[in-house]
Structures are given as C-alpha cells and as structure tokens.
C-alpha cells in the first residue's frame, strides 16, 4: 500500500519551505475553546442551518374562533419544521442540559469543599431536570398527544 502512495513522490519533489508561525498567533485558552464549542453547539442545535436555507418567520400566527390573529411560537404537527424562536428556545434548553452535565463533572474535583459540592450538584440536577421536562413539554406542544399512553 505504501508503494502506491509513493508513486507521485517519485516524480514530484516536495519543496523545502521554512515557514514560521506569526508572532501574534497563540494557542487559545481552554475556556476560549469551550466557549467556541458551546456557541457552535447552541447554533447547530437551534437549527441555524435550517433557518438560513428555509428562511422561516420568527413566529407564526393563527386565527382564533373570533377571527382575531394571535401569535404562535410552535409550528404544530410538523416535526421537520420550526419557527426561529422555537429553535432558539429549544437550543437554549439543550445547552442548559449540557451545561448541567458540565457542572456535574466539576463536582468530582477533590479540592471542592463539601458545601460547594452540594450546591454544584443541586444546580446541575436542576439544569438537567428542567431541560429534560421542558423539552418534553415542547414536544407535546408541537405534537399534541405525543408520549401519552
């Protein structure tokens, strides 16, 4: 297999370049990388790609029994469709649940005092539980009768 990869290099010669890294380029800190990953997670789970391609409205509207128009935040009966605010709200909940797991991981440090450990556990469980049940509520609002037995 190596002989197949070596065939182009029998004809071509790699240039001897002496490239230097610019002095202003530094390795980012761990928190900068975490913030970039968290922001991209928020945008991707919020459906930013869908929003750019389809260009849905930020919120919808429906008419009630009296003929008045009222705003609607969830696009009902369409699992593959969303309004922009619906995507951002669900993305916030996904990110809050993920941050709950990150905080839960921070409780394992041996230098954390007992009171701080209990507070971190409480905050992480609240984030995870609220995120889980609110996402279930959003799905029930989107698809009435979903997960009901």
Which range is least confidently modeled, 5-14, 26-35, 77-86? 5-14
Q: Model confidence over 20-68: pLDDT tens digits?
A: 989 999 999 999 999 999 999 999 999 999 999 999 999 999 998 998 9
For residue 135, the tally of other CB atoms under 10 A from its CB is 16
Place of tokens 């761990």: 30
- Claim: this prediction has a pTM higher than 0.85: no
Render 103-134 in DSSP notation, one character per residue.
Answer: HHHHTT-TTS-HHHHHHHHHHHHHHHHHHHHH
pLDDT at residue 80 above 70? yes
Tokens 């009768």 label which residue? 145
């Amino acid at each position: 297999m190596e002989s197949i990869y070596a065939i182009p290099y029998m004809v071509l010669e790699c240039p001897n370049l002496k490239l230097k890294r610019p002095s202003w380029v530094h390795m980012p800190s761990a928190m900068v990388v975490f913030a970039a990953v968290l922001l991209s997670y928020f945008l991707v789970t919020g459906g930013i790609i869908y929003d750019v391609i389809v260009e849905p409205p930020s919120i919808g509207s429906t008419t009630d029994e009296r003929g008045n128009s009222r705003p609607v935040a969830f696009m009902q009966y369409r699992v593959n469709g969303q309004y922009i605010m619906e995507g951002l709200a669900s993305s916030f909940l996904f990110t809050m649940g993920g941050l709950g797991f990150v905080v839960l991981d921070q409780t394992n440090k041996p230098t954390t005092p007992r009171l701080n450990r209990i507070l971190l556990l409480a905050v992480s469980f609240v984030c995870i539980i609220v995120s889980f049940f609110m996402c279930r509520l959003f799905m029930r609002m989107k698809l009435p009768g979903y997960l009901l037995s």
